[in-house]
Amino acid sequence: MHIVVLDGYAANPGDLSWDEMKQLGECVIYDRTSPAEVLERSQGAEILLTNKTVLDAKTINALSDLRYIGVLATGYNIVDTDTAKERGIIVTNIPAYSTDSVAQMVFAHLLNICQQVQYHAEEVRKGRWSACPDFCFWDTPLIELRGKKIGIVGLGHTGSRTARIAIAFGMEVYACTSKSYFQLPHEIKKMKLDELFAECDVISLHCPLTPDTREMVNARRLSLMKPTAILINTGRGPLVNEQDLADALNTGRIYAAGLDVLSQEPPLADNPLLTARNCYITPHIAWASTAARERLMRIAVDNVKAYAEGKAINVVNK
């Protein structure tokens, strides 16, 4: 089998190994592939592996040897799955590999906002604690999570894991989910979306990006939130109207936001959230712990092995 990895650097910048994949066939690995290079690099490949490199209908139809596309991520919107299906090309993804890491990032952001960890550590380095007349020093609100209401939008793998962590912190957990009341554990109460935004102290986004969820966080919905509320987004950047969120933060309509994703990545320099008040942004790293990437690589190999044996798994275009 001729295998081509179009953009392997993000999943494996050099700290992991491609050896198992290389054992499955002739394997060519590129760190990154520009749109202009995709066709040339993909010619003759039976198997293409991509993370964020787009494989559209024109590209797929131009590759006569292609039989399998493996997405090195959970989301697969960068592949025209309908065209692949018409061509009889299997498309697979990597499900649930980063559940624990993403849920951990939710609380990394939330705890940083509530305890102002980064801020106070920086103030100590500036000498403010050393110059303080008291044994302790703080000059921002410090927020305890116990008893606070968290609203989780989307109760899949990461939403459910986030809910479990929130329960351990003593939070009251509510969810906007397609699951029925009878499918939810007793600690999680179901709420409609607008009610969730209006009543909860923390909103955490875990839903897929669809036409219905695009910019679901907008000026109207932000206006429902408490002025003390916190928004966390580790899901998809376009779930949020970024100008509306920046306006809400800058005017004190809501208290803070913790974001690991933006609508365009890397962001443009004029993205309003980069300078918004109480907006804490990490560069799309919730998924990228070493443990999560090791799982991703292992599942990617298992997916290709299963395809080679005629028993494809994790297929997204059946």
User: Which amino acid is present at 247?
Assistant: D
3-state SS record for 140-193 = CCCCCCCCCEEEEECCCHHHHHHHHHHHHCCCEEEEECCCCHHHCCCCEEECCH
The two structure tokens encoding residue 56: 């559209």
- The residue annotated as part of the active site, out of 2, 284, 294, 298, is 284
Residue at token pair 């004190």: 252
- Contact (Cβ atoms closer than 8 angstroms) between residue 286 and residue 98: yes
The two structure tokens encoding residue 97: 């590999």
Give the list of residues 6+ apart from residue 62 with CB closer than 8 angstroms, or none.
Answer: 39
- The residue annotated as part of the active site, out of 236, 253, 293, 295, is 236
Tell me the backbone φ, ψ of residue 307, rounded to 5 degrees: -60, -45
Give the list of residues 6+ apart from residue 280 with CB closer than 8 angstroms, or none.
Answer: 109, 112, 113, 118, 256, 257, 258, 259
What is the spatial distance between Cα 90 and Cα 311, in angstroms, rounded to a whole number?
11
Give the list of residues 6+ apart from residue 198 with CB closer than 8 angstroms, or none.
Answer: 224, 225, 226
Is there a catalytic annotation at residue 40? no
- The residue annotated as part of the active site, out of 26, 144, 265, 277, is 265
Is there a catalytic annotation at residue 236? yes
Is there a catalytic annotation at residue 277? no
Active site residues: 236, 265, 284
